Amino acid sequence: MEAKILTNTILKGIMTDALVHRDYCTDFDTCKTAGYYTVSAQKTVNHPPGAYPYGILEVKVAGSFISQIYHAHQEGNGSKMSVIYMRMWHNDSGWNTWVRLSTEAAV
């Protein structure tokens, strides 16, 4: 049996949009479509306060709820440890505040 290369075309309709790379995100408030976004700019706005401005923004959508999880490449203070932040959005209340998730190393 010949191996097949899985491309976005083949996977369309099988996998969810949450696995799709969407491009760059410079304003976190406007990145509301499910998928992964590259964060690579000093001028990024509405990201977690003090967060390192390079990493990956993961967006998941379920009905009227949107979850954003930001995987910062490192801490804003120059530490090489990765940091994760999250927040939720609901169309009745908008975005809540960013919450930094603790790592096992930080506990």
DSSP the chain: -------HHHHBTTB-GGGSEEEE-SBGGG--SSEEEEEE-TT-BSSPTT--SEEEEEEEEETTEEEEEEEESS-TTS-SS-EEEEEEEETTTEE---EEEPPGGG-
pLDDT at 57 exceeding the cut of 80: yes
Q: Is residue 23 part of a domain?
A: yes
The number of folded domains in the chain is: 1
pLDDT in tens, 41-51: 778 899 999 88
Q: 42 lies in which domain range?
A: 17-106
pLDDT for position 43: 82
pLDDT at 65 exceeding the cut of 90: yes
The predicted model scores a pTM of 0.76
Q: Is residue 85 part of a domain?
A: yes
Q: Is residue 59 part of a domain?
A: yes
pLDDT for position 1: 35
pLDDT in tens, 66-100: 999 999 887 766 666 788 999 999 988 999 999 99
pLDDT for position 52: 84
Q: Is residue 70 part of a domain?
A: yes
Q: Is residue 51 part of a domain?
A: yes
Q: Is residue 94 part of a domain?
A: yes
Q: Is residue 1 part of a domain?
A: no
